Amino acid sequence: MKLVKLLANLGYGSRKEVQRLIRAGTVTDINGKVLGENNVPPINQILFRGEALDPPSPLVIMLHKPDGFTCSSEDPGSTIYELLPERFALRNPGLNPIGRLDKDTTGLLLMTDDGILLHKIIHPKSKCLKVYHVTLDRPLEGHEADVFSSGTLLLASETRPLLPAKLEVLGEKEALITLHEGRYHQVRRMFASTGNHVTGLKRISIGGLQLPDSLEEGSWRALEPEELARIFA
Ligand code: URA
């Protein structure tokens, strides 16, 4: 790929801006040699203002989503895109969340620019289970695990029952719930159907991939290939 197109696709600017930046000598190889529009060394040997380029497509990142950020690019308030480098919003193809989280849900959010991978992960057939840590307003009554695992629970205004979900009680008002699917406000609506109210919700894993302790709230990083494989393990 031509250098101008490569950098423009990574969001470093429009083609015109990138062309200007290349002509100004801001793009070099790892030995400091200024690159022209027709020099394209391997991408891991290109520096922009002395810094390695962002990873090219296909890219998968994990974000530790904080409370108060929406998973939409169009929300007038704070969006998850504000937690990423500004130029990520200009990437082509763009990064999309793999299964959205509500504004007040925290935890593991994967994002990718690979549409096929995105659908593979969110499709119930792929069996990438999602685990959430739930904090409740009122004590659990004891019947919730049976209701959620029944495979017959019908949420308000839906016609298809939920797939069985596993509930693991951690305390009076605290549990882990494992889902096979990702319907709108699913966990909150499941507990609402039992007369309870979710006060805190955090996604802690997707498939075999856990939210690492080392990833602070609001931080992100690209997935290692073995972490990507773990999603399907
Ligand atoms: N279930 C919900 O209710 N909200 C989320 O953000 C994720 C799952």
169 and 191 in a single domain? The answer is: yes
What was the pLDDT predicted at 76?
A: 75
Q: Are residues 213 and 202 in the same domain?
A: no
Alpha helix (H) residue ranges in the chain: 3-9, 15-23, 115-122, 144-149, 186-192, 225-231
The answer on 216 and 170 residing in a single domain is no
Model confidence pLDDT, tens digit, residues 166-214: 999 999 999 999 999 999 999 999 999 999 999 999 999 999 999 999 9
Pair (17, 83) in one structural domain = no
Q: Are residues 137 and 189 in the same domain?
A: yes
Q: Domain check: are 143 and 169 in the same one? A: yes
Q: What is the 187 CA–ligand 1 centroid distance (Å)?
A: 5
Nearest alpha carbon, ligand 1 atom 4: 185
Q: What's the predicted TM-score (pTM) here?
A: 0.93
Beta strands 105-112 and 198-206: pairing type? parallel
Contact call for residues 158 and 98 (beta carbons, < 8 A): no
User: Does one domain contain both 177 and 217?
Assistant: no
Q: For residue 197, what is the domain's CATH number?
A: 3.30.70.1560
CATH number at residue 11: 3.10.290.10
Closest to 80 (Cα-Cα) out of 121, 56, 110? 110
Give the tens place of pLDDT for each residue, 202-225: 999 999 999 999 999 999 999 999
- Catalytic pick among 29, 102, 104, 114: 102
Residue-number span of the structural domain to which 16 is assigned: 3-52
From the CB of 186, is ligand 1 less than 6 Å away?
yes
- Report, as an integer, the average pLDDT of 59-65: 98
> Does the pLDDT of residue 17 top 80, yes or no?
yes
Closest by Cα among 170, 177, 168, 217 to 201: 177
Q: Is 185 in the pocket of ligand 1 (CB under 6 A)?
A: yes
For the question of residue 102 being annotated catalytic, the response is yes
Answer yes or no: do 175 and 200 share one domain.
yes
83-142: pLDDT as tens digits: 999 999 999 999 999 999 999 999 999 999 999 999 999 998 888 999 999 999 999 999
Measured distance CA(224)–CA(230) in Å, rounded: 10
Residue bearing tokens 């994002």: 111
Q: Which residues pair with 47 in a beta bridge?
A: 28, 52
Residue with tokens 């909150």: 188
Residue 6 pLDDT level (bands cut at 50, 70, 90): very high
| 187 close to ligand 1 (CB < 6 Angstrom) | yes
Does 226 lie in the same domain as 116? yes
- 44 CA → ligand 1 middle, Å: 38
Task: Provide the number of structural domains found in the chain.
Answer: 3
